[in-house]
Amino acid sequence: MGQEKSYTVTISAVQCRMARAATGLGVRELAALADLSPNTITRFERGEELKPATLLAIRSSLENAGVDFIPENGGGVGVRLKKDLK
């Protein structure tokens, strides 16, 4: 019997800004990819809390654009671009 995988959406405002910078995406472009309003992205990057489903849409869109999210591991959260971008 397999274990259920628990997936917690973790992304910080600073990671979102770093990921947009790394991919060259503006607020409007990310909003379109995530099917959200630009105001939602701006609110998040200012530090407002969003619903988990909204965070998942943002994170998934950035991951699809080639971003890997680095969790807090003693050195702070971060992002990097995936090696095998196609």
Tell me the CATH number at 17.
1.10.260.40
pTM of the entire predicted model: 0.84
Whether 7 has a pLDDT exceeding 80, the answer reads no
Rounded to whole angstroms, how far apart are CA atoms 68 and 59?
10
Question: Please, which pLDDT band fits residue 72 given cuts at 50, 70 and 90?
Answer: confident
Take residue 52 and report the two structure tokens written for it: 């988990």
In a domain, 22, yes or no: yes
In a domain, 7, yes or no: no
Identify the pLDDT of residue 83. Answer: 81
> How far apart, in Å, are the Cα atoms of 74 and each of 3, 10, 18?
28, 16, 18
In a domain, 49, yes or no: yes
Chain-centroid distance of CA 72 in Å reads 15
Q: For the chain, what is the domain count? A: 1
47: containing domain: 13-81
In a domain, 3, yes or no: no
Question: Please, which pLDDT band fits residue 9 given cuts at 50, 70 and 90?
Answer: low
In a domain, 1, yes or no: no
In a domain, 2, yes or no: no
pLDDT digits (tens, 9 = 90+) for 15-48: 999 999 999 999 999 999 999 999 999 999 999 9
Rounded to whole angstroms, how far apart are CA atoms 62 and 82?
11
